[in-house]
Structure 1
Amino acid sequence: MSLAPPPVRTGVAVAARGLRKEYGHGTARVVALDGVDVGFAAGAFHAVMGPSGSGKSTLLHCLAGLDSPTAGTVRIGDTDTARLDDRRLTLLRRDRIGFVFQKFNLLPALTAEENIVLPLAIANRRPEATWLRQVVAAVGLADRLGHRPGELSGGQQQRVALARALVTRPEVIFADEPTGNLDSRSGAEVLRLLREAVDTLGQTVVMVTHDPVAAAYADRVVFLADGRPVRELTAPTAERVLDTLAGLDRTAEQDGSRVAATDARRGR
């Protein structure tokens, strides 16, 4: 990736304090996030992992303003998202956040180029020609701009989605299982591009993944269990991530056994 020198980004790009998210009521109530305190430094690649049901996707959606927490606060830079009305929250998502999803979320009737510049078109802004060319070249799509999503491979569609996330120069990119629908080769290419967006552009990336190999591209991995952060790794490798996940699974099994034994003693 050969792009302009990165801006100097310091401090915390995204932070949650006392973040709680509940679904349902009464006996049907489910606590997805249970008082989460976590911060994500600017200019770094962060991964969020955990067992199924640990709250990792819920956390990402609350951080990105796609879902509203039951309690607690989320800050994007200096902005407390809880203080924003629907219009200003929409503008924040459009202008300051980039998104990359597992299912690409491209509009099938639009060309690759039209999908890339869609956030700018919605804002009635013209793309910066030089920047657009740089982003397109960086993700290797210069010869695919006139193609519609149905004419592109899964890896190419995800590169369109990444270019769309980059074109607005966001403060943070949220990626939700970005390699989940890709083969290993295409997935590795997308991860390399996310890594280079951090290293070359000074971008901040927060990625939810279940894949230890994907997490190894990050600078830091935050592990969730039962809706709370429980471990962290810096400079992760796939092997260290696997070991940590295995430890979380063993702890969950032990906790489950203790609960079952207690219930049995109480005659439940």
Structure 2
Amino acid sequence: MTTAVGKPQQGDAHGNAAVAARARQVVKAYGTGETRVVALDHVDVDIVRGEFTAIMGPSGSGKSTLMHCLAGLDTVTSGEIHLADTEITGLKDKRLTRLRRDRVGFIFQSFNLLPTLNALENITLPMDIAGRRPDAAWLRRVVETVGLGDRLKHRPTELSGGQQQRVAVARALAAQPEIIFGDEPTGNLDSRSGAEVLDFLRLSVDELGQTIVMVTHDPVAASYADRVLYLADGRIVDEMRRPTAERVLDRMKAFDGRGRTS
């Protein structure tokens, strides 16, 4: 994988946007017969490389299911999922696990840090498990980007919630994945800490060339993205470019007369 720290080239020689992940006619259903529930209903979507995409929608709309299917964390009932040029639908478990480890990063709401390891050890843990040495220059750049230079020897209990999530962001970035998926990554943070983490995610796209897909219910969080996808009843029903918190909130109100988004 490249160790360049500049933003990757956007698109091919013809000016077409490079796609980091895509779904084609994806259906995800649970149960059978009268109890069958369709979580995703023939979804088509492209995730553009080097962009920050937010996925929003009411509870039960399928937003988390879509992210989990794109990330290879869940299987599809029918249709195809590709990460770059690799179709992941139908891959055997061992190969899919290796693909997720080598090419995908994850940021979860609950941080998922090991309490016995310090910040630096948590950041490099996935690479240590995979038997890979971190690229020293890239790791230094990531640590500087998320502002953890003076906290690397601290264990999670010695860090604030916002600092813990910054460690989780650095962990996702450090392995230089092709794409990072975030599931409500600021959901457990106060507004100030959440804004700091979102700033770092935005910076990782603008300065480090990262591709990020984030599920969120928060209009402010979504406003950091380049594009917002709206799901309802398992389908993508709208898309917004250059979102603002106000525009996102207005759009979400259309789903529910009370303005509820989660």
Deviation, 1:131, is 1.6
Which one has the largest radius of gyration?
Answer: 1
**Contact 1:96–1:171 (CA<8 Å) still a contact in 2?**
yes
Higher mean Cα deviation, 72-81 or 131-140?
131-140
Aligned residues: 250
Structure 1 residue ranges, 4+ long, deviating more than 3 angstroms after superposition: none
Give the Cα separation in 1 of the matches to 2:147 and 2:229: 31
Give the Cα separation in 1 of the matches to 2:57 and 2:6: 34
Give the Cα separation in 2 of the matches to 1:149 and 1:177: 20
* Structure 2, gaps ≥5 residues long: 12-17, 258-262
Matching of residues 1-268 of structure 1 within 5 Å: 4-10=5-11, 11-250=18-257
**Contact 1:176–1:208 (CA<8 Å) still a contact in 2?**
yes
Query: Counterpart of 1:4 in 2: which secondary structure?
Result: coil
Give the Cα separation in 2 of the matches to 1:46 and 1:190: 15
Give the Cα separation in 2 of the matches to 1:118 and 1:9: 30
Higher mean Cα deviation, 27-36 or 91-100?
27-36
Deviation, 1:83, is 3.9
TM superposition score normalised by structure 2: 0.92
Give the Cα separation in 1 of the matches to 2:106 and 2:46: 18
* Structure 1, gaps ≥5 residues long: 251-268
Deviation, 1:9, is 4.0
Q: Percent identity of the aligned residues?
A: 66
Q: Which has the higher helix share?
A: 1
**Contact 1:9–1:202 (CA<8 Å) still a contact in 2?**
no
Query: Counterpart of 1:61 in 2: which secondary structure?
Result: helix
TM superposition score normalised by structure 1: 0.90
Q: CA RMSD in A?
A: 1.6
Deviation, 1:141, is 1.1
